[in-house]
Structure 1
Amino acid sequence: MLGTLALGVFGINSPQLGTDELVTWNVAERTTDQILALVHNVDAVHATYYLLMHGWTAVFGDSQTALRMPSALAMGGAAACAALIGGRLFGRRAGLCGGLLFALIPAVSRFAQEARSYALVVLAATLATYLLLRALDRPRSPWRWAGYALCLAVVGLLHLVALTVVLGHVALLVFRFVRRERSGLWGFCLAGAAGAACVVPVIVLGRSQASRQLFWLQAPDLWGLVGIWPQVFASALCAGAVITLAALAWKEGREGLVLCLAVAVLPPLVLWAASHGDVSYFRYHYVLFTVPAWAVLAGAGLAGVTRPSWRPVVAGLAVLALLVLPDQRTMRGTFQHDVPHGADYAGAARTIEKYYRPGDAVVYVRGAPWMLDQGVRYYLRRDLKLPEVFLAKTAAENNELYPAYCTRAAACLKGEGRIWVVVPGNGPDSLDAVPVHQARALRAKYTAYGAEHLSGLTVTLLQRKP
């Protein structure tokens, strides 16, 4: 747990906020009523996370570190759960190996530094698996089943797709049933039903919003079932090493093999099949919760082939650490968090701050996947308030992720002396990237005073014509 947390915190402030992280920040700073109004229109599946982050930022602030720290803490907790599951199924040595392998997987550090719900989903899904094992140890304990049901509800409230972890749990119960170990079957059914009932509103809203939010995802081909794993582990080398070690666990306890293999493999298979309908759900982010199961299996394999000496274990972990070191370094780069075309939001904010004068206004050109308005606004000083010239309603006022703009651009100009224009790309004329009706109004009354081309975007200062 401490190793995972240390790797997650190291360099946590280095990458700029990505597109999804900026959405998290934007929504978290809204009021509770505004968040609830938003999720009626879009992003209902993230409502619980947004409310959680709203409370978190109210206490700890909205710095990059503060926004990402819940994810780092969650990954640390997931490492502990993975080690406990491994110890319960394959022995303490295997559990320790699995927990340490989990810490070294690049995707773990990557999403420990992401201000989104994925790390919390990994924790909740892994904890649910551990609580299931605890409940099966004492199947007559209603409190253990209640804990399992509550954890399943949290999984669904954080991310509906992650409820596919239950497929692995069903596989374990079926395996036990075949072996005539039928205790706990009714407890599992009741707990599962109770957990699912808690997320029915999210299921209904999420289903109605799915086509709007995931329209851009294409149905996966057969190769997707293979190509997804390097993405899930954030490293092809790591994926190969962990899966190879997991294969070495085939001689270990059958119950553990059935559970971990089912949790690791069944959710991606089901999502792949479900993604050939109206909406595709096949995205590697959505199956990150399978990584602990792979780590537990790999830990069992490593512990089994090196028993009883610890030296080969240390050597194996050291080799894996060296193999993934380039990936660990890369993911901490400035533009590694899904920043479109390496847009330098912080650089744009520094440029504006350097030449800012009271009374300045701004025009941001946005559109998927660009988040120039939120990106630059995040990195600007909080006391520097730049009014947006063509803004009719902010995203919060619009109960959406996107703002609403003036339909008559010329009427929205109020005699501003200077206007900053931030556009994607590095074209010779920034106004060419501005919507036509807005560009026409700006060209009529303003002239370019200067421009600065940064990574992925351009900042231009317009001055009012005499």
Structure 2
Amino acid sequence: MIRRRPDLFLLIPIVALGVALRLWHAFSAPLWLDEAYSAYAAGKGWAFLWQIVPRYETHPPFYYSLLRGWTLAFGDGRVALRSLGVAASILTLLPVWLAGRSLGRMAGSDPRWVGLAAVLLAASAPLFGDMAQQVRPYAVLIFSFATAIAALLRSAEGVAATGRLPRVAWGAYVAALALCLWLHNLGPLYAAALGLAALVLIARAGLSRREWLLFLGGHALAGLLYLPAFLILLDQAPTWIKSTWLTFRTGALEWRVAALWGVPGRVALWAALPLVLLALLACVRTGAGRRAGFALALLAVLPVATSILLSVWVTPVFIIRTMTPCGIPALLLLALGMAGQRGWLRLLAVPLGLLLVHQQIQASIAARQRPPMQDWAHALRWLAPRIRPGDMLYAYPNEGALPFSYAARDLGLTLPVRAVPTPVPSFDVPGAWYPTGSRGVVSLPKPALERIAAEPATRAVPTVWLLRLGPWAYDKGDLFARALLRDRRIVGRYRNGAIDLVGLRRAER
């Protein structure tokens, strides 16, 4: 069996490598702010997810619902929360393998080796490992996009062979297309690219009316299912455009885009460029290969280019992590360049591919060794010996209470927390405004902050530990800290990135 199918024998250690890179340090870092939002929404119940979350969260509530179902089955601890992304990222290797095999057949190459190269590149890709460890929708979105691509390539093979869309593959494509739309507010960018790629791969003379109806009906069904999420996006977009916290930076843009395509750094780029040319040579051998190559290029480039144009003309939406699914079609093309060659070109392609994989693994190891995005555990270890009986933490803005509370739970630390003005989300607060686009997180005017500082409940707290995330956005001029300092003094301060923690002890009379 090994002599007849060496690719399957090699697949085992490659998958093991992908699993190891995704599990390494996956559960050690505390939840950062965005992850805490996911955990918070998933823990609030179905009514909250579908009635309250759409009022303040731009992303559709589908991922949070999926996460809630996962936590009901496996618990809501940090390991359980992160394991959904890890599982989705590992499962992504299956549609990548299937897509690579389809691409190899369409380009007239050996599908076994193209499929194996695709899995190797996807297993080693640094950003895929990063997204696997996030309690966010990105790993599931990557899986859905990869599944849509694999099903689309298989559907194209079926049409070329029989003139009919394979029903199972086409159904999988439509389901994955709908999932891409429901998993993220940028889902329409991925759906548009998939629709154009479907036209390139499937539209041809002689396709029967019945198959055209199936083709158009599948896309119409996905669009119809997306309609509620589209209405949520339309409702949220004006606030987000007006008050977004994001800024679009063009510095090192080419390197950031290369990284999301699975090419981390200069050496990797020098290996990838010839592989792209070799992939083009492989694609032009057959008509099906030309279709597949053009479709994959669309899928890799169009969402990225559209998000950059939106960032320039409308509002900043380009973030590397939201664009990581585009790495799937890029890596498929690189896999074809690596393993789809004939004759002496193999002697060039395989070493280049292995050099790229080596650079990916190095970048993945470096990523696993980076400090946490927000080191709440370190902040709490600093705070723990300074807490006295009766102390309370005030979180302003209110969202800071989310990651703090999860980190405190993980460390077994008990400290009463008050989110200012209310726990997330804060709706209909008089005089409040939205500095960073979320309707659930507000800044308060100076009189409101002074009233909170003067409340008997606040004055009774021996030491108020004021937690601010990004005070330059929500507490410009340190208004809340100054209001509390009227009858208190600073007894300690911790700063680390966006985390700003100040101890304000009541002056003894």
Question: TM-score w.r.t. structure 2 length?
Answer: 0.77
3-state SS in 2 of match to 1:460: strand
Partner of 1:55: 69
RMSD: 3.6
Letter in structure 1 aligned against 2:199: L
| Paired residue secondary structure (2:47) | helix
The one-letter code sitting in structure 1 at the alignment partner of 2:150 is Y
407-416 or 271-280: bigger deviation: 271-280
Contact between 1:81 and 1:127, CA under 8 Å: does it hold in 2?
Answer: yes
Bigger shift: residues 54-63 or 125-134: 54-63
- Contact kept, 8 Å, 1:153 with 1:196, in 2: the verdict is yes
Pairing partner for 2:485 from 425, 431, 443: 443
- Does 1:202 find its partner at 2:238? no
- The 3-state SS of whatever aligns with 2:56 is coil
The secondary structure found in structure 1 opposite 2:55 is coil
- Whether 2:449 is the aligned partner of 1:421: answer no
Aligned residues: percent identity?
22
> In the alignment, what sits opposite 2:436?
none
Match of 1:247 among 277, 280, 284: 277
Q: Which runs of 5+ in 2 are unaligned?
A: 1-14, 105-110, 283-288, 429-438
Aligned-pair CA distance for 1:299: 0.9
The worse-fitting range, judged by mean Cα deviation, of 33-42 and 217-226 is 217-226
Structure 1 SS opposite 2:186: helix
Which residue is equivalent to 2:264?
235
Cα offset, 1:127, TM superposition = 0.6
- The residue aligned with 1:21 is 35
In 1: Cα distance, 2:336 partner to 2:407 partner: 45
Residue 429 (structure 1) aligns with: none
Looking at structure 1, the residues matched to 261 and 240 of structure 2 have their Cα atoms a distance apart, in angstroms, of 21
Q: How big is the shift at 1:424?
A: 6.3
- Asked if 1 retains the 8 angstrom alpha-carbon contact of 2:58 and 2:185, the reply is no
How many matched pairs?
Answer: 451
SS in structure 2 at match of 1:30: coil
SS in 1 for 2:409: coil
Task: For residue 419 of structure 1, give the secondary structure of its aligned residue in structure 2.
Answer: strand
Match of 2:189 in 1: 164
Deviations along 1:157-200, one digit per CA (max 9) or x if unpaired, are: 10242343443453453455456566843322110110111011
- Tell whether the 8 Å contact from 2:300 to 2:330 is kept in structure 1 after alignment: yes
Work out whether residues 148 and 173 of structure 2, in 8 Å CA contact, stay in contact via their aligned partners in 1. yes
Match of 1:402?
441
Pick from 358, 362, 369 the counterpart of residue 393 of structure 2.
362
199, 208, 230: which one pairs with 1:173?
A: 199
Paired residue secondary structure (2:415): coil
Q: Distance in 2 between matches of 1:106 and 1:358?
A: 45
Residue in 2 aligned with 1:212?
A: 239
Q: Which segment is superposed worse, 51-60 or 315-324?
A: 315-324
C-alpha spacing 1:310/1:209, structure 2 compared with 1 (3 Å)? same
1:379 is aligned to 2:373: no
The corresponding residue for 1:462 is 505
Which residue pairs with 1:151 in the alignment?
Answer: 176
Q: Is the 8 A contact 2:263 2:272 kept in 1?
A: no
Of 350, 353, 357, the match for 2:384: 353
Q: Map 1:232-311 to 2 at 5 A.
A: 233=262, 235-237=264-266, 238=268, 241-252=271-282, 253-305=289-341
CA separation of 1:240/1:195 partners in 2, compared to 1, >3 Å: closer, same or farther? farther
For the structure 1 residues 135 and 458, does the alpha-carbon distance in structure 2 shift closer, same or farther, using more than 3 Å as the test?
Answer: same
Residue pair 1:361, 1:420 contacting (<8 A) in 2 also: yes
The change in CA–CA distance for 1:328 and 1:380 in structure 2 (over 3 A counts) is same
Q: Which residue of 1 aligns with 2:147?
A: 127
Q: Could you tell me how far apart the structure 2 residues matched to 1:329 and 1:320 are?
A: 14
Q: Distance in 2 between matches of 1:373 and 1:174?
A: 49
Deviations 1:66-99 (A, max 9, x none): 3222122212222221111110121121111111
- CA deviation after TM superposition for structure 1 residue 392, in Å: 4.2
The alpha-carbon deviation at position 117 of structure 1 amounts to 0.6
